[in-house]
Structure 1
Amino acid sequence: MKTIFEKIKRSAPLPQLPQVMLQLIRACGREKTDIDEVTQIICRDAALTAKLLAIIASPHVNLAKQVTTIKSAVVYLGLDTVRNIAISSSAMQFFKFSKLTDNFNINRFWYHSYKCAVLAQRIARQEKQINPDQYFLAGLLHDIGTLVLMATFPEEYKEIKARVNQGQNEFEAQTDILNIDGPKVSSWLFNQWNLNPMACDAVQFLNQPLTRIAEELVHVKILFMANLMAEPENTDVTQDALVLTDIPAAVLNEIAVQAENEVQQMAKSLNLVLGEPEQGYNLLAKDLKDVSLFFGTLDNLLRARDVATLLGTVQRGLEIIFHIPRIFFFLQDREKDLLTGTCAKEDRYYNIITSIALAMNNNASLVIKSVNTGISTASMNQQNLAASDTQILRFLETPALYAIPIVGHKGCSGAMVIGVDSDLAQTLDKNKTLLDLFSRQTGICLENLNFHETYAGDLSDKKMEAYATLTDKVVHEINNPVAIIRNYLEILQLKLPEKHPAQEEITVVKEEMSRVSSLLEGLTSFSKPRVGGSQQTINLNEMCSRVLAVLKKSILMPRQIRVQTELDDTMPKATLDSNGLKQVIINLVKNAAEALEKGSEIRFKTRLVPGSAKVLIDEKKRLPGLVEITIQDNGPGIPSHIKERLFEPYNSSKTGTCNSGLGLSIVHSIVREMQGRITCDSSQGKGTCFTILIPLVPDTGPRLPNDEIMS
């Protein structure tokens, strides 16, 4: 006997009802699932309940109090653990346990176990028992011993089944072949799981004759009666059951009818056909495949280091699972209160989609509606679509669009818009849980990327602020003694004869003090960058040409450095801080010239960034985009140790005592003030390229005519 129990401890996993496992995986994957819902799902399957109780009773858990209900087990383990148990158990079941033994019907097993649980609970209530839920648990698990014997001794159980088919009682056949029967194993398991001793006692009497049961306590009788009455589609109370209770036959019959109705209703909710167990396994196999594919996608999502890579990963994951023909993304720009479009760069509509913007207050748009409500929506069978939806639908080249909100911890970040037909729309509707997983993980990853970008910017700003504060203090403290020294030098020169030998030395000292003053002035310009702050509407190319003309005469021509210009003729007039931009260009060109040898070259280029201009389709307005200025040289490049801290103050690759290392810090501050970005691409020996992106202030001009909206 001891050897059998030791083998049972190492036995294969028990088969759970696939439909229940699917419900549990989906429920635990939803964000708002509560403990009660999960408990109700687990209550529907004996093997799953046994799995949880075994974990709760394991030595490493070491609970101080007894677990008497399924809900208390779920509360202790938590939803994440329960979900992991469900997924791992499903995988084990599908790959190792899809067929337990010949002619074993798991649907029938579920029916008998669940009906026994419902009957035991209802009879216990009628008998005024203190805790009817304990009887539900005992009824649900009463046959778990038989299931364990099948799993542990599959070859021996074939012989047991053969004897049962020839008319022998199953418990007797178990004892003949294995020297133990199912009720004894169930009782042993109940004891291992620290269940109520009354349940352990009641279950081992299930193999006893009726005459013996009539002499036992009420808890034994209740479970025995429930087992008798739990035969498939049996609503007639047998005379044997009436012998064990004082409950009137009419009441007991009513309990049987109610239990049968509850079981049939539950089977219907599970799409369970009692004669077709394979149906559940097929569904389970599909869900396991989808879950596996999703977690493969999730791993790639977590590895993404930029938005384009992240969205590309999402698109590939959805294509693999759902065979989606085309997908567009619309991401929220909270500062401008817009959704801006994007898609795969390989898509032939990339330039058009990236030019589309949707105002967040446009509730007529289905895409905006999905973001504002956080609910997926489709255009199938909808009339009078918004102009933006119609345009997007045209580029999707499908009968309908399906908008899925991208929801993270901090709210909605945008929407995934999928091209669908009626069949694909139905498939997506049936897989909302998986889509919600994609949506939530995409939203969380987007939030993380945005956080890191914002954090890096804020950190840079804080550093600059700290440097500026320190600079102000240094300038203030040094200016006073410098002014005093210069005054004393003037007085000293006046006191000495004009041709005194010391006059020349005093002049040298005065010149050095002037250099100190120049350095202090440079520090002050870093502390308070000279950004004009006044917005002017200018011809950007003309302004750049004028600045370069001045720089050619003063800096570039004396050093014999050529300038090649490539100015975008399509550049519209821009409204921006022209004084600040002039200072940026002067600093960058001057820096490049100082690093170059004679005969070197600087390439200066402007362009309107393709796709950065946005079209508000429904409002019939066009929003200007971004202007890009690149300043590239063919010089020695920037050393890697300098490049890592390029825009930090006091960081310079130049030599000489006059350099403060503040030029690029000032440039960075000005560009940030203009809500722009500056980046540097440089390799030693291959030159340096600075790229500046500056947003053009939105035009509030007239609305566009209909025929120019997407031109």
Structure 2
Amino acid sequence: MEREDGPKGLQALLERIETLRSLPTLPHILLRLIELCNRPENGLQEIARLINQDPALSERVLRLVNSAFYSLKQKITTIGEALLLLGLEAVKNIAISSSVYQVFQGPPARHGLDLKNFWWHSVRCGVIARRLAVKTAYASPDEAFLAGLMHDIGKILLWSSFRREYAGTGGGLPAAERRLGLTHAEAGAWLIGRWQLPTFLPDAVRYHHEAVERIVVSFPLVRLVFAANLLAGEGGLPAAVQALGLAARDLESLRAEAEEEARQIAGSLDIQVAPAAPGPVERAKEEALARLVRDYSQLAGISEGFIKAARREEVLEALRRGLALLFDLASTRWFRLEGAWLVGEAAAGCGELRVPCQESSGLLGRSLARGEVLDSFSPLAAPSLYDEQLARLLGAQGILCLPLRAEGQGLGVLAAGIRVRDHAGLAARETLLGLLADQASLALFALITQERQAERIREERLGSASALARRVVHEARNPLGIISNYLSILSGKLRQDASMQEDLRIVREEIRRVSQIISELSSFSTPGPAARETVDLNALLADLGRISREPLWESSRIRLQLALDPQVPPLESEKDRLKQVFLNLLKNAAEAMPSGGELGLQTRLLP
């Protein structure tokens, strides 16, 4: 691709670069970053330390935090500050999206970019720049490290944007840059300049290949990165001495110390800095990254089941589906936490399984208490008799325990049957197992919280209704009391009339029953035990026939015939509820006889 001369040609190149979504990162670092993000207890400090060791990740994080989306008044220049603002989830998204992009693009080494050597040179330059900053009393050694780390970012920027042009060019990157008419220093400075940082960091990137005669009359950060780049390569010592005015002996000593520090960084990430060609470790990391991306893709599909679940059983079913799909674990049993016990689903012939939720009881209790995935074949597993019996129940040689915890609360453990040969593969994918458990835990916890909130709302509504009922009862008792008093006065005036006294007795009894029904309204949310008493069934039915004669029988032309056996003994029952039952029967019978007729009501003592 030949670049047109002039600003328009340069602008076309920069517009093409601007469409780039992600820069490649060593798989060792991406795998480690995802691992750290999945274990929040490691803290942001360790994550910041890791991102600080990779130019591509540093660029993505600083670009995001300084973007218009966050609209910060002050620009952020350190990874630590950026992570505090972005949060763990944003960093995890960066790591996963970078992994997906890189897997689908293919390893950079297969397309002409030696990413490992690029990373190694960038880290050494950053470490040297920081040490030079300390030695020369520069105000911000961290800024010097970032500038040194990012000084060659334009190389992978150009390679990622113009991969086809680079592949068809002999002579490597320098030849491709000459053909494009855009150097990696210019491209890197343009990229960092878009962050609009109030520093000379873009200039340090732009001028790191400038002639030493011009560098000696530049600001300190530019001179530090220029010298660090020379010292991180072969030779370059005289020009570094001229740029900084330091003794060659001091610079040699500083370079050796920086080399050792950089090797320690590489070793901590399992990165072999030699040989240059990708070795078994590099290929294994590439394969592990590809496997992780595939796992995440499958996990995304399973997550949909957790999101849609409306009941606890549906969450557990989605979890079982995930274990079967991702890990080929088909035989499982759920143990929910109930107080001090883990209660398992009923098994044929032995009912519910109950295991004490204690570490000493075996893998189930230990897994939930520690929040760790445990299995029977780990070196320090020490399975208990509970575990061995459960393994046989699941038709397996051992068990794997997947604890479900959320918001510091234990929810239960899903036990899966496994074979001895499954152990190594499951141990290698423990992070994915943990992610699956975390998603199930959050979904289950959300449903439990919803259920508790619904129960609390129901209780609050019942409480409000009960308070209203108590007010109604209080207001209704006043007129009932007045009616009872007048009945007593009327009874005194009609003392000599036996028939009226019987009628008044029945009315008083019904008023008492109404009062009892109203009283029960005030305690309907928490009904108490029913009061039983001795009931004369014949007398109760006779009273019902008398009080219902006019409203039910005479108006409907129904004749009620009572045949009450005097041998029927008194019953132990709830008088008011028994009376209501017979009253409902009589009403239903009357409604079924629209043309009138004869209705019989009979009692009899059976032998």
Q: Same fold (TM over 0.5)?
A: yes
- Give the SS at the match of 1:324: coil
Change (3 A) 1:181 1:528: closer
Could you tell me how far apart the structure 2 residues matched to 1:527 and 1:217 are? 80
1:352 and 1:442 map into 2 onto residues whose CA distance is 29
3-state DSSP of counterpart to 2:300: helix
Match of 1:304 in 2: 309
Q: Do 1:237 and 1:249's aligned partners in 2 also have CA atoms closer than 8 Å?
A: no
CA contact (8 A) 1:101 1:150 kept: no
Higher mean Cα deviation, 363-372 or 498-507?
A: 498-507
Q: Distance in 2 between matches of 1:474 and 1:46?
A: 75
| 3-state SS, counterpart of residue 262 of structure 1 | helix
* In structure 2, distance between residues paired with 1:354 and 1:111: 62
**Which residue does 2:171 correspond to in 1?**
163
Determine the structure 1 residue equivalent to 2:548.
none
**Structure 2 vs 1, CA of residues 107 and 447 (structure 1 numbering), >3 Å: closer, same or farther?**
same
Label 1:382 to 1:410 Cα distance change in 2 as closer, same or farther (>3 A): closer
3-state SS of 1:363 partner: helix
Deviation digits for residues 87-119 of structure 1 (CA, Å, limit 9, x no counterpart): 222222222354487322222221222221112
1:179 equivalent among 167, 178, 181: 181
- The corresponding residue for 1:68 is 77
Q: 1:26 aligns with which of 23, 35, 41?
A: 35
Q: In structure 2, how many angstroms separate the alpha carbons of the residues matched to 1:185 and 1:396?
A: 61
Q: Which amino acid aligns with 1:46?
A: P
Map Cα deviations across residues 626-668 of structure 1 (whole Å, 9 max, x no partner): xxxxxxxxxxxxxxxxxxxxxxxxxxxxxxxxxxxxxxxxxxx
User: 5 Å matches for 1:458-477?
Assistant: 458-477=456-475
TM-score (norm 1): 0.67
Listed one character per residue, the Cα deviations across residues 295-337 of structure 1 (whole Å, up to 9, x for unaligned) are 3222211222222221121121122222225333221102xx2
**Matched-pair contact (CA < 8 Å) for 2:310–2:447:** yes
Q: How does 1:178-217 map to 2 (within 5 A)?
A: 178-214=180-216, 216-217=218-219
**Partner secondary structure for residue 226 of structure 2:** helix
Alignment-derived partner of residue 338 in structure 2:
333
The residue aligned with 1:133 is 142
CA displacement, residues 390-409 of structure 1 (integer Å, 9 cap, x when unaligned)? 21232234333332322111
Partner of 1:558: none
In the alignment, which residue of structure 1 is the partner of 2:363? 366
Q: Is the 8 A contact 2:66 2:75 kept in 1?
A: no
- Cα deviation for residue 238 of structure 1 reads 4.1
Quote the Cα distance in structure 1 between the aligned partners of 2:22 and 2:231: 28
1:378 paired residue among 365, 375, 379: 375
Contact residue 56 and residue 73 of structure 1 kept, 8 A: yes
Aligned counterparts of 1:468 and 1:137: Cα–Cα separation in 2: 68
Q: 1:340 to 1:149 in 2, by over 3 A?
A: same
1:39 Cα deviation after fit: 0.9
1:88 aligns with 2:86: no
The verdict on how the C-alpha distance between 1:266 and 1:351 changes in structure 2, with shifts beyond 3 A counting, is: farther
Give the corresponding residue for 1:653: none
Q: How far off is 1:512 after superposition?
A: 6.3
- Taking the aligned partners of 2:61 and 2:382, their CA distance within structure 1 comes to 52
* Aligned counterpart, 2:258: 259
Maintained 8 Å contact 1:237/1:252: no
Report the number of matched residues.
530
CA deviation digits over 1:328-368, x for unaligned, max 9?
A: 3221102xx2111138xxxxxx4368621012346242321
Q: Cα gap change, 1:213/1:421 in structure 2, threshold over 3 Å: closer, same or farther?
A: farther
How far 1:252 moved relative to its partner?
Answer: 2.6
Q: Distance in 2 between matches of 1:214 and 1:484?
A: 110
CA distance in structure 1 between the partners assigned to 2:386 and 2:110 by the alignment: 58
Q: Is the alpha carbon distance of 1:199 and 1:461 closer, same or farther for their aligned partners in structure 2, counting shifts above 3 Å? A: closer
TM-score in terms of structure 2 length: 0.77
Q: Deviations over 1:5-50 (max 9, x none)?
A: 2232223532222222222222222232322112112112211111
> Partner residue of 2:593?
none
Alignment of 1:522-541 (within 5 A): 522-523=520-521, 526=524, 529-531=527-529
Cα gap change, 1:468 to 1:116, in 2 (>3 Å):
same
Letter in 2 for 1:128: A
Choose from 290, 294, 298 the match for 1:293.
Answer: 298
Contact residue 121 and residue 132 of structure 1 kept, 8 A: yes
Shift of 1:529: 2.3
Question: Could you tell me which residue of structure 2 aligns to residue 225 of structure 1?
Answer: 227
Moved more, 283-292 or 485-494: 485-494
1:64 counterpart letter in structure 2: K
Give 3-state SS (helix, strand or coil) of 1:220's partner: helix
Give matches, 1:41-60, under 5 Å. Answer: 41-60=50-69
Structure 1 residue 501, shift from structure 2 partner: 12
- Structure-2 residue corresponding to 1:610: none
For the residues of structure 2 that align with 1:383 and 1:61, how far apart are their CA atoms?
Answer: 48
Match of residue 685 from structure 1 = none
- Assess, with a 3 A threshold, how the Cα gap between structure 1 residues 237 and 148 changes in structure 2: closer, same or farther: closer
Structure 1 CA distance, aligned partners of 2:167 and 2:359? 67
TM superposition shift of 1:389: 2.0
Equivalences for 1:139-150 in 2 at 5 Å? 139-150=148-159
- Conserved? CA contact 2:223–2:243, under 8 Å: yes
Q: CA deviation at 1:217?
A: 4.5
Superposition CA RMSD, Å: 3.7
Deviations 1:496-554 (A, max 9, x none): 69789999998997676466335335536736623389xxxxxxxxxxxxxxxx9xxx9
Helix, strand or coil: the match of 1:63?
Answer: coil
SS at match of 1:330: strand
SS at match of 2:396: coil
The equivalences for 1:520-669 within 5 A come to 520=518, 522-523=520-521, 526=524, 529-531=527-529
| Shift in alpha-carbon separation, 1:424–1:226, aligned structure 2, 3 A | farther
CA offset digits 1:427-456 (Å, max 9, x no partner): 333333323222333222222222233333
Separation of aligned partners in 2, 1:528 and 1:396:
44
Secondary structure of the equivalent of 1:357? strand
For residues 516 and 136 of structure 1, what CA distance do their matches in structure 2 show? 88
Structure 1 letter corresponding to 2:343: T
Deviation readout 1:431-482 (Å, 9 max, x if unpaired): 3332322233322222222223333333333333333333333333322321
Measure the CA separation in 2 of the matches of 1:328 and 1:528: 37
Amino acid at match of 1:303: K
**One-letter amino acid of the counterpart of residue 271, structure 1:** D
Q: Equivalent residue of 1:526, what SS?
A: coil
Match of 1:391 in 2: 389
Q: CA deviation at 1:202?
A: 2.1
1:244-299 alpha-carbon deviations (Å, 9 max, x no partner): 34444443333323333333333333333453255433222111122222232222
**2:327 is the alignment partner of 1:322:** yes
Could you tell me how far apart the structure 2 residues matched to 1:252 and 1:450 are? 64
Alignment-derived partner of residue 153 in structure 1: 162
Establish whether residue 282 from structure 1 lines up as the match of residue 282 from structure 2.
no
Whole-angstrom distance in 2 between the partners of 1:249 and 1:594: 113
Residue among 451, 454, 466 paired with 1:453: 451
- Aligned CA distance change for structure 1 residues 324 and 478 (closer, same or farther; 3 Å): same
Q: Larger % of helix: which?
A: 2
SS of equivalent residue, structure 1 residue 34: helix
